[in-house]
Structure 1
Amino acid sequence: MNHALRIFAVLAFAFLSNAAIAQTLKGTLYKQQQCECCEAHADYLRKNGFELEIMSVKDLASMSIGAGVPAGFQGCHLIKLNGYVFEGHLTSEIIKRFLAERPQDTVGLSIPGMPSGVPGMEGPKDGPVTVYAVKKDGTTSTYATQ
């Protein structure tokens, strides 16, 4: 009986954890007014369980810096989600994994620039794209590749 209770507890925790993540995938994507690839990335994320509001802004760079993202690590849009920021065309899997980990020393993740072949950006992929973790102290480190 004790074994059955443990299995139930593990399954209940897994279900509740997944439900909590699914319920919290609501955020805002901030983009430059003229950028269209950001809309494509938002569509990709929506198809993968995210609920995003899109807001056009005049000075995305200042907004990113204000959110803690260094100038060299800015993408073409900024997503604010669950107290974190996500710069650029990240995959939904990487964002979900990061949110499940909930690192306390990190502002968010970034793919600088506008690389080809990532979700929302057409064209061939030239190779692996580095995803950076942006720390609260201003440093960065490689988080993943996609």
Structure 2
Amino acid sequence: MKKSTLLALSLSILSSSAIAASGIVYKSASCGCCEEWVNHMKDNGFDLKVENIDNLHPIKKKLGITPRLASCHTAVIDDYIFEGHIPASDIHSFLASKPNNVDGLAVPGMPLGSPGMEYGNKKQKYRVMSFSKDGKTEVFNEHE
């Protein structure tokens, strides 16, 4: 198969799965950076319902988000958990691979330059971590 055909087929499959990805985001109604992340996700093909909640702690606990992985919002997309300001491209890659024994991805904290946390040209290096409810974590991707 030609490389161009293979590339086109791969992009088509990724685009199809990206458009089909839907889920829910739990966030505070007053959090502007969370709303910006939701817009980033929608601009990248995700269909997300937003549920504004005053206290996110019970949801994070129920979903297995430990304090060291926590950020300001939590999403559940295609039965996986996504915590914090994760780039849509990483979520697309993750969902395309459907990894076993991994419950989701997290960007702990709120690093400058991550989607929804843009502030001029200021950027912090940050890691997207994969995690499982048994406490295992691994670097999924790094961003400069």
Any stretches of 5+ residues in structure 1 without a counterpart? none
| Matched position secondary structure for 1:106 | coil
TM-score normalized with structure 2 length = 0.85
TM-score normalized with structure 1 length = 0.84
Query: Residue 49 of structure 1 aligns with which residue?
Result: 45
8 Å Cα contact 2:18-2:92 kept in structure 1 = no
Distance 1:16 1:47, change over 3 A: closer
Distance 1:33 1:137, change over 3 A: same
| Matched position secondary structure for 2:113 | coil
Decide which structure has the larger Cα Rg and report it. Answer: 1
8 Å Cα contact 2:19-2:47 kept in structure 1 = no
| RMSD of aligned Cα (Å) | 2.4
Structure-to-structure mapping, 1:86-125, within 5 angstroms: 86-123=82-119, 124-125=122-123
8 Å Cα contact 1:24-1:82 kept in structure 2 = no
TM-superposition CA deviations, 1:39-92 (whole Å, max 9, x none): 011111111111111111122122112111211101110111001010111111
Deviation, structure 1 residue 97: 0.2
- Is 1:141 aligned to 2:138, yes or no? yes
Any stretches of 5+ residues in structure 2 without a counterpart? none
Query: Residue 64 of structure 2 aligns with which residue?
Result: 68
Q: Which runs of 4+ in 1 moved over 6 A?
A: 10-13
Percent identity over the alignment?
A: 33
- Is 1:78 aligned to 2:74, yes or no? yes
TM-superposition CA deviations, 1:85-137 (whole Å, max 9, x none): 101111111000000111120110000111111111132102x2111111131
8 Å Cα contact 1:29-1:53 kept in structure 2 = yes
| Matched position secondary structure for 1:54 | strand
Structure 1: how far apart are the matches of 2:7 and 2:109? 41
Count of residue correspondences: 140
